[in-house]
Chains A and B, each alone.
Chain A
Amino acid sequence: MSKASLWLLFLAVGLGTFALRFLFIYLFGKIEMPEWLRRALRFVPAAALAALVFPALTHPSGHLDLSLQNFRLLAGLGGAVVAWRTRNVLITILVGMTILWTLESVFGI
């Protein structure tokens, strides 16, 4: 990725994100958010994050791998338990990475 397209990426993401933050503060009293949209938006974080997580575990090197040799899937399942219990980003990363490194050093490459 070139330097120019990198900064364009930051600007595009940043301006769009600013618009999302600003929209309804600016439009207050002019336009209300429709009820169906408010309801649909509630599902965005769960759906979008799951769509990022699942394939990262099942396709660690680009193709489907549900075997026990897929250490990222195993470490991810361990991490999921921690994420579910704690909902804490840092603890989930620490536990998940520790499982991954342990599996790799004991059974791995």
Chain B
Amino acid sequence: MKLNKDFLAGMRGALPILIGVIPFAMISGVAAVSVGLNFWETMGMSVIVFAGASQLVVFQLMTAGSPWIIMVLTAWVVNVRFTMYSATLAPYLQKLSTWRKALLAYMLSDQAFGVSLSHFLATKDEINHRWYYFGAALLIWVAWQISAMAGALLGSLVPASWGFDFAFPLSFMALMFAALRDRPTVVAALSGGLIAVFAKGLPYNIGLVLATLSGIVAGYWLESLKLKQDAAQ
């Protein structure tokens, strides 16, 4: 069997980004153990969900004793960004059976999206986009699972007295700053955050969902104002 050259190019393209993937996956493994999951539960979740930020969100909500449905809803909200990636990559991932599309979709990650799309936009060569994406996404998936496993094994060595639960808001903070690109996104974050503080007392942690929605509305509204102003000029 000869390996497809675009598949290998995709793997090579994803290689540098593993520097970010490996520690984050290990953190997710350590975090899972710190909230009381055993090794198999940690790996089961890692394979079934395969979306680090939402996994950490679930852990934080577990430590807060949130209801099941709030954990599920919040994790979905955090992962809604995948629809953007999926819509953007869709033209490159056609002419495949539904099963293969499903496999490629399952492996979609922030990093696979970033690596593939930037390559597709930059290259002038005739390449097989599906194989390139598959190579990048697969390497990231494998690195993620191995690192999560290492994290799960290391996690049992971290004593509870370290207060590792504080690592959740800290990691969300880094992800949040990475999402701040312009004034409307900053306003979305500030509104979402402040409303979450004021709505903290509401039952079932519902304030979290309300705050997120308010943040989206605030950012959208500000951007609409700007678009109108630009159009008027």
Q: Interface of A with B (CB < 8 Å)?
A: 1, 5-14, 16-18, 20-29, 32-33, 38-59, 64, 72, 75-76, 79-80, 83-84, 86-93, 96-97, 100-101, 104
Contacts and interface: CB of A to CB of B under 8 A. Distances in A.
Given A6-B41, A51-B215, A56-B60, A44 B81 contact: yes
Interface string B16-58: 0000100110010000000001000100110011110110011
B134 to A, nearest CB: 13
Contacts of B211: 47, 50-51
B101 to A, nearest CB: 5
Given A52-B172, A64-B200, 18 more contacts: A9-B68, A13-B49, A16-B79, A17-B82, A21-B82, A21-B83, A22-B106, A39-B223, A40-B220, A44-B78, A44-B81, A46-B219, A49-B78, A52-B196, A55-B207, A58-B197, A79-B173, A91-B174
Given A9-B71, A64-B200, A93-B27, A51 B208 contact: yes
B1 interface: no
A43 B94 contact: no
Contacts of A57: 169
Contacts of A79: 170, 173
Interface residues of B, number: 91
Contact of A46 (B57, B171, B180, B200): B180
7 contacts: A13-B71, A43-B184, A45-B81, A46-B179, A53-B169, A89-B23, A97-B167
A67 to B, nearest CB: 15
Contacts, number: 270
A32 B171 CA distance: 33
B77 interface: yes
B60 A16 contact: no
Nearest to A66: B197
A4 B65 CA distance: 17
B195 A42 contact: no
B138 interface: no
Contacts of B162: 97, 101
Mostly helix, strand, loop or mixed at chain B's interface? Answer: helix
A46 B166 contact: no
A13 B58 contact: yes
B170 A24 contact: no
A87 B177 contact: yes
A11 B72 CA distance: 10
B76 A17 contact: yes
A47 B166 contact: no
B104 A25 contact: yes
Contacts of B188: 43, 46-47, 50
Nearest to B47: A14
A23 B54 contact: no
Nearest to B86: A24
B75 A17 contact: yes
A80 to B, nearest CB: 6
B185 interface: yes
Contact of A28 (B57, B84, B91, B192): B91
A50 B196 contact: yes
